[in-house]
Amino acid sequence: MSDSYIIEVSSQTAGIVVRDARGYQFFAASHRFDRLEGQVFRNAREAERAARRLATGELRMAS
């Protein structure tokens, strides 16, 4: 199992996730995905789903 993954949405790099003791922490690669910056996910697939929801407007997060 890898310790880091690149997350892409529609051929655009959304960010990377890096595994630590808590899970996979998201680091945004563009301002479009800044709302996910620093969030911790259980796995890379969960982070990818969140990035896709954010890109399509499905993810509504508190500011």
Whether 21 maps to a domain, the answer reads yes
8, 29 contact by CB (below 8 A):
no
Residue 63, domain member (yes or no): no
Q: Tell me, yes or no, whether 43 lies in a domain.
A: yes
Write down the pLDDT at residue 1: 61
The secondary structure of residue 43, as a DSSP letter, is: S
Contact of 55 with 28, CB cutoff 8 Å: no
Residues in the chain: 63
Residue 18 lies in a domain: yes
Sequential pLDDT tens for the chain (63 residues): 679 999 999 999 999 999 999 999 999 999 999 999 999 999 999 999 999 999 988 766 554
Residue 33 belongs to some domain of the structure: yes
Supply 50's token pair. Answer: 């969140």
Instruction: Quote the domain boundaries for residue 27.
Output: 4-56
pLDDT at 63: 46
Structural domain count, the chain: 1
* Domain assignment of residue 62, yes or no: no
Residue 61 included in any domain: no
**pLDDT number for residue 60:** 64
